[in-house]
Amino acid sequence: VKRVLPEWLAKPTIISVDLKHLEVPIDGIPELDAALVQKLKNKGFTHFFPVQNQMIPWLINIQKHWDETWLRDACISAPTGSGKTLSYVLPIIQTLKSMPRRRLRALIVLPTKVLAMQVFKVFSYFIKNAFDLKVYLMESANLTLEKEKNMLLRYDTMRGWMSIVDIVVTTPGRLVDHLYYTEGFSLKNLRFLVLDEADSFTNILQNDWLQQVNENLAYNGPAICTLKTLKHWPQRTQRLLFSATLTQDPEKLKFLKLFEPKLFTSIIKRKNIELPIDSNTNEPVRGDFVGKYTTPKELKEYMVLCPEENKPLTFYHLIRTKGLKRVICFVKSKLEVHRLTRLLSRLSELDTNNSPLRVNEISSDVSQKVHTSYIKQFSDGKIDVYVFSCILIIILKLMTFSMFL
């Protein structure tokens, strides 16, 4: 029995996964502000990645209809490292740069503090000395809610509480804390709601935070646009979902309250035949192209079948026989991270035929400063094997490696 997908999932816009043959130069998107183009050039960018070439002009152009009707939501399923972050950072900055009054208009929610920090730095770079916008990173490590409130809001005797930021980058937990306890913190003027690594949110049972966000928006009703809803709520927050995976589970997607969503995806397969990128077929596509992990075209995948109890020994054997360096291994929990690290180190000590294997571990217990130090050591080749808990998979974006397991 073939599974029939909703039309928006079955008829996506297809994004190439080929990152070697880039066609659109940095100044090749006429809709993009010249100051943003210059910032890209200053960073050494020469061409846009395929996902950026598709998303940036689409998002910029659709904003022209903000005052006319509700904007379509978008779901982007593309491999890690394919440039998804800039696909929303640049259009958001360009859209908000001309807003007359400072209000919280863009909320970017990410599953981990590490990723939130990285996205905040990207926003900060493109805004600095170029646009009168303020981006803020919510954090729980150094500031209490009350102190952080002073970074988000100011009180005006005539107008009450007013936002002093345009863009907020945060994790779900800190966001909910402010929604519950911070007087004056409001999402009523929100124009963009971005969920980066969206499946990290929809795959967990605790969706209370997403419900709290929906309830605090100016419009939180059904995603159905009628003359009546347009009369009372002419604008609706646009939701943008970015992920290397995209769930097909209706029970998970319903929490997002998507309005006429448009899917941009990297992987399309039907009967083992790849659908051409410029295909205009109206026939629904059935198969496993969405909701699956997508990988860059340059990444080769292999499978080793072995008994459960032999996994560590097999892993060690592969490293030694293939002469692998800069290897990353993911395991389920912090406890397993420590166990595997100790075991690999011990095997290396007993292996007198090879040079010592430099093994290290990273878990959520390690501070951001230590994370950064470890990542640099790994990138410099001073560590051979890193063992991670799966929740820290996003650090992959910051690292150069030859193999991961």
Question: Which percentage of the chain shows pLDDT scores above 90?
Answer: 36
Domain range for 128 is 7-265
Domain limit, last residue, from 265, 298, 320: 265
Same-domain status, 101 and 199: yes
pLDDT at 307 over 80: yes
Let me know if residue 94 belongs to a domain: yes
Let me know if residue 284 belongs to a domain: no
Let me know if residue 114 belongs to a domain: yes
Identity (one letter) of the amino acid at 293?
A: Y
Same-domain status, 96 and 153: yes
Let me know if residue 272 belongs to a domain: no
Same-domain status, 219 and 342: no
Look up the CATH number of the domain holding residue 320.
3.40.50.300
pLDDT at 289 over 80: no
Residue 207: the pLDDT is 58
**Alpha-helical segments (H) within 136-272:** 145-152, 172-181, 199-202, 208-216, 227-232, 250-253
Angstrom distance (rounded) from CA 314 to CA 312: 5
- At 169, is the pLDDT very low, low, confident or very high (cuts 50, 70, 90)? very high
DSSP assigned state of 218: S
- At 79, is the pLDDT very low, low, confident or very high (cuts 50, 70, 90)? confident
Same-domain status, 257 and 335: no
Same-domain status, 247 and 339: no
Same-domain status, 312 and 224: no
Tens of pLDDT, residues 92-132: 999 999 888 899 999 999 988 888 988 999 999 999 999 99
Same-domain status, 250 and 363: no
pLDDT at 88 over 90: yes
Same-domain status, 61 and 195: yes
Identity (one letter) of the amino acid at 357?
A: L
Give the residue-averaged pLDDT of 42-67.
92
For the ranges 85-99, 175-189, 195-209, the lowest mean pLDDT is seen at 195-209
Let me know if residue 78 belongs to a domain: yes
Domain limit, last residue, from 265, 285, 300: 265
Same-domain status, 48 and 130: yes
Average pLDDT, the chain: 82
Give the residue-averaged pLDDT of 282-305.
57
Residue 391: the pLDDT is 52
- At 184, is the pLDDT very low, low, confident or very high (cuts 50, 70, 90)? very high
Give the residue-averaged pLDDT of 340-349.
91
Residue count (the chain): 405
Which segment, 3-7, 64-68, 140-144, is predicted with the most confidence on average?
Answer: 64-68
Same-domain status, 393 and 325: yes
Which segment, 61-70, 200-209, 268-277, 391-400, is predicted with the most confidence on average?
Answer: 61-70
Question: Which percentage of the chain shows pLDDT scores above 70?
Answer: 81
Let me know if residue 271 belongs to a domain: no
Tens of pLDDT, residues 231-255: 888 889 999 998 877 766 666 677 7
- The continuous run of DSSP H or E covering 156 comes out as strand 153-156
Number of domains in the chain: 2
Domain limit, last residue, from 236, 265, 294: 265
CA angle 41/59/288 to nearest 5° reads 105
Same-domain status, 170 and 314: no
Better-scored residue on pLDDT, 327 or 297:
327
Same-domain status, 258 and 369: no
